[in-house]
Amino acid sequence: MSTKPLNVNEDEIAKFNKIASQWWDLNGDFKPLHQINPLRVQFICQHIAWLDNDTQANNGLYDKQVIDVGCGGGILSESLTKLGAKVTGIDMGMEPLNVAKLHALETSLSIDYQKITAEEKALACSETFDVVTCMEMLEHVPDPASVVQACATLVKPGGLVFFSTLNKGIKSYLLAIVAAEKILKIVPDGTHDHDKFIRPSQLISWAALHGLKCIDASGIHYNPLTGNHKLIDSLDVNYIICCRKL
C-alpha cells in the first residue's frame, strides 16, 4: 500500500469548506467566478472541434465524457452539463461537493460528483475522458505538477485538457491580491498566495512532460469595478490554456 501523502492542502480545504454556502450566491465571495465562467465555457467550446476528425460534423460537447478537476460547488460542471456533456466533478472539499450535489438536484442536472484527488482518479480511470478541465485549482495544491500529470493520464489520446490559473508576476500580485483581496474586498483576504502562482511557461512545460501539447492560450481580463470581462492576448494575470494529448 502506498504511503505517499495526498496532494491536498488541508488549510485550503478548510478555507473553502467554511464559505461553501456562498458558491451559488451571485453577489457573494464567488461572484468573480460566476462572472468569468462564461469566458471559460467560451474558450472550451472554441476548441472542441479538435476532438472530431470531421469538423463539419462537430457536435460540440454533446455526449462527450468530461471531468472537472477541482470542481468546487459545480459552477463550471453545471455549465458543461447543460451543453450536453456527461460530467464528472471531483474535489477534496466535502462541503463544496455537498453544495454542488444539492444545486444539481435543484436544477435537475445529472452530474457525478466524487470526493477524490486527481491522482487517485487517474489511477482508476486512465485515458477515460474526452475533455479534462482544471480551473483555478493548481494554485491551491502543494504539488501542481502532480495534478497536471494526473490530468494527462485521465484524458484519452487526442483529447483536450484545459487549465486556468494565475501568472506569477508583479501585475498579478497587485491585481489579484492587493486590489482584489486587500482594497476592494472582492474575494476573502488570504484566498491567494502569490508564491503559488504559476508562469505559463512553467505550466506548459509540465504539460509537455506528460504528452500534452499546448495548442492555444488566452488571458482572462476581469475589471471588478465595471464587471467587464473578456478574453485577451495578454497572459499577465489570469490565463487559460488548451492542451491536446498526443
70 is in an annotated binding site: yes
117-144: pLDDT as tens digits: 999 999 999 999 999 999 999 999 999 9
User: Does residue 56 register a pLDDT over 60?
Assistant: no
pLDDT of amino acid 54: 47
Distance separating alpha carbons of residues 174 and 194, to the nearest angstrom:
10
Edge-to-edge order in the sheet of strand 238-245: 112-115, 86-91, 65-69, 129-135, 155-166, 238-245, 212-223, 228-232
Distance separating alpha carbons of residues 114 and 90, to the nearest angstrom:
5
| Cβ 242 vs Cβ 163: under 8 Å | no
Which grid coordinates are listed for 107?
A: 436544477
89 is in an annotated binding site: no
- pLDDT-above-70 percentage for the chain: 87
User: Does residue 86 register a pLDDT over 60?
Assistant: yes
Strand 65-69 with 86-91, pairing: parallel
